[in-house]
């Protein structure tokens, strides 16, 4: 059986789709940046967040809407 995977946008770890999470980072008024995160990177971002809300995901049923200090977006791996 084949599994669908995602690559974490922060650390690059490949995880099964059901273990990853869509995160929408609020970058301004009605502006968002969508990223797929592994559980570890999601936990790190949730701890740094000013606010966190649940919302409908783009591909997944639910996503985390995260506002970081200064409307920042996490650094993306190269």
**Residue ranges per structural domain of the chain:** 5-71
Residue 3: the pLDDT is: 86
Q: In what order do the strands lie in the sheet with 21-28?
A: 31-37, 21-28, 62-67, 51-56
If you write DSSP's letter for every residue of 5-67 in order, what string do you get? EEE-TTT--EEEGGG-EEEEEEEETTEEEEEEE-HHHHHHHHHH-SEEEEEE-SSSSEEEEEE
Residue 55: the pLDDT is: 86
- What is the model's pTM? 0.83
pLDDT digits (tens, 9 = 90+) for 18-31: 899 999 999 888 78
Residue 44: the pLDDT is: 94
CA distances from 23 to 1, 2, 76 (A): 27, 25, 13
pLDDT digits (tens, 9 = 90+) for 32-71: 888 999 999 999 999 999 999 988 887 777 888 989 888 8
């Amino acid at each position: 059986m084949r599994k669908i995977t995602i690559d974490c946008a922060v650390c690059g770890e490949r995880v099964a789709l059901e273990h990853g999470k869509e995160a929408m980072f609020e970058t301004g008024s009605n502006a968002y940046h969508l990223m797929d995160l592994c559980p570890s990177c999601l936990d790190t971002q949730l701890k740094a967040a000013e606010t966190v809300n649940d919302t409908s995901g783009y591909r997944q049923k639910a996503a985390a809407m995260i506002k970081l200090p200064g409307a920042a977006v996490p650094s993306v791996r190269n």
